[in-house]
Amino acid sequence: MDERKVRSLSQAKATFYEPGFDELLRSSLATGRLRFSTSMADAAGSEVHFICVGTPQKHGEYAADLRFVQAAAESLLRVLEPGDVVVGKSTVPVGTAAGLATMFGEKVPGSSVAWNPEFLREGFAVRDTLYPDRLVYGVSEGDERVVGILDEVYARIVARGTPKVVTDHATAEMVKTAANSFLATKISFINAMAELCEATGADVKQLADAIGYDDRIGRKFLNAGLGFGGGCLPKDIRAFMARAGELGADQALTFLREVDNINMRRRIRMVELAREVCDGSLLGKRIAVLGAAFKPDSDDIRDSPALNVAAQLQLQGAVVRVTDPAAVENGRRLFPQLDYADTPEEAADRADAVLVLTEWKQYRQLDPVDFGRVVAQRRVLDGRNALDRDAWTAAGWSYRALGRRAG
């Protein structure tokens, strides 16, 4: 629908930051087998139609907003022919696919609906798409024809022996939200441990390493810090809770409310920690925030813990300068009240404290000795447990991190 995006993509330029994506776009456009258009009429004649639109959180409630999915489905009615397949990629509340299957079945007899969630991570989107861990096909019972068509679509991935789960619509929809809920739970688990570490003087990083050696637990997604943000995890666990409530199964997911709470508490704790290191008051203190994106290698600032903390610090009277290798422009648009800088040095000029809130490689590799020359006070808060504590303390910095003793 968005002319600007379609124009940009047609010129092989992504409208977002994603490593390796522009190259892939360029080579795919060069084959002549990829086109972008704002007109639904261009979809006529295609056999497989993917719905990939967003399902954001509704304003003022937890449920997912399905307007875009509905609109896409309705506009497909104009071009869909018997035998065509509609494939849903969007993350939707369980039951959505069955509803669409009924609608398409009535209006275009002989068409089919499949639900085929994707699990790509921002920053690794290209690799995750071309080399997924698994394929999930949610199809109507016995619809072998659709399974065959999806196998053709994913021929290379299937040929590689990638695990494939063929199931019903409801299970396929739930796989996505269950996976994201598990990941969110894992992060909040380690962040809850970080709270305890703060109370006991234990070290959450070593704790994560030690429990992570157990194969059953695994070290991945056990990085304690500011917690999860972005366009998926937060809204997906909320939509999952809302849907469970509608289905009368809300008890099953009450733990996700706690997962959400733990996650949000980390942001508050970070602001407190900043106040603590600034001698008990944020008023007029110059604070550098390194990182605006919700995670490194992305310019996505949706529900970004880093920007959330930056905004809170400013509201409490600090003079905040934010920098990010990719997300400054987006930050300016969403939080115009914050001050932005192009480089960490510029952001940290005469700073009373430096907060590293997104673990970009550039920030992990900062030389604490050189960097120490630009600040007024060598105080660093490592919001992602990503810095080399010994190197920073050796360079005269006071080092604080969530879930670890002061260094």
CB of 122 to ligand UDX, least distance (A): 4
Q: Which 3 state secondary structure label does DSSP give 391? A: helix
Give the separation between CA 86 and CA 162, rounded to whole angstroms: 23
For residues 154 and 221, which CB has a smaller minimum distance to ligand UDX in the complex?
A: 221
Which DSSP state fits 294? S
For residues 126 and 374, which CB has a smaller minimum distance to ligand UDX in the complex?
A: 126
CB of 405 to ligand UDX, least distance (A): 20
Measure Cα distances from 182 to 193, 213, 215 in Å.
17, 19, 16
Binding region for ligand UDX (CB under 6 A): 119-122, 180, 183, 187, 221-223, 225, 227-230, 232-233, 294-295
Query: Is 232 an annotated catalytic residue?
Result: yes
Which DSSP state fits 77? T
Give the separation between CA 233 and CA 199, rounded to whole angstroms: 27
CB of 328 to ligand UDX, least distance (A): 18
CB of 386 to ligand UDX, least distance (A): 10
Q: How many CB atoms sit inside 10 A of residue 232's CB?
A: 24
**φ and ψ of 278, to 5 deg:** -90, 40
For residues 62 and 119, which CB has a smaller minimum distance to ligand UDX in the complex?
A: 119
CB of 224 to ligand UDX, least distance (A): 7
For residues 130 and 369, which CB has a smaller minimum distance to ligand UDX in the complex?
A: 130
For residues 167 and 185, which CB has a smaller minimum distance to ligand UDX in the complex?
A: 185
Q: In what order do the strands lie in the sheet with 286-290?
A: 339-341, 319-323, 286-290, 353-356, 379-382, 398-401
- C-alpha count within 13 angstroms, C-beta hemisphere, residue 248: 0
Q: Which has the closest alpha carbon to 383: 290, 315, 319, 301?
A: 290
Q: How many CB atoms sit inside 10 A of residue 315's CB?
A: 12
Characterize the bridge pairing of strands 379-382 and 353-356.
parallel
For residues 43 and 364, which CB has a smaller minimum distance to ligand UDX in the complex?
A: 364
Residues 6 or more apart from 211 whose CB is under 8 A from it? 217, 222
CB of 153 to ligand UDX, least distance (A): 19
CB of 18 to ligand UDX, least distance (A): 10
Tokens of 396: 């005269």
For residues 80 and 401, which CB has a smaller minimum distance to ligand UDX in the complex?
A: 401
- Of 52, 197, 232, 278, catalytic: 232
CB of 81 to ligand UDX, least distance (A): 31
Q: How many CB atoms sit inside 10 A of residue 393's CB?
A: 16
Compute the chain's Rg from CA coordinates: 23
Give the separation between CA 123 and CA 121, rounded to whole angstroms: 6
**φ and ψ of 166, to 5 deg:** -100, 125
**What letter represents residue 61's amino acid?**
E
For residues 18 and 352, which CB has a smaller minimum distance to ligand UDX in the complex?
A: 18
Burial of 155 (0-12, 13-18, 19+ CB in 10 A): exposed
Residue 50 is inside which H or E element, if any?
strand 48-51
Measure Cα distances from 285 to 185, 291, 380 in Å.
35, 19, 14
Q: Which residues are catalytic, by number? A: 232
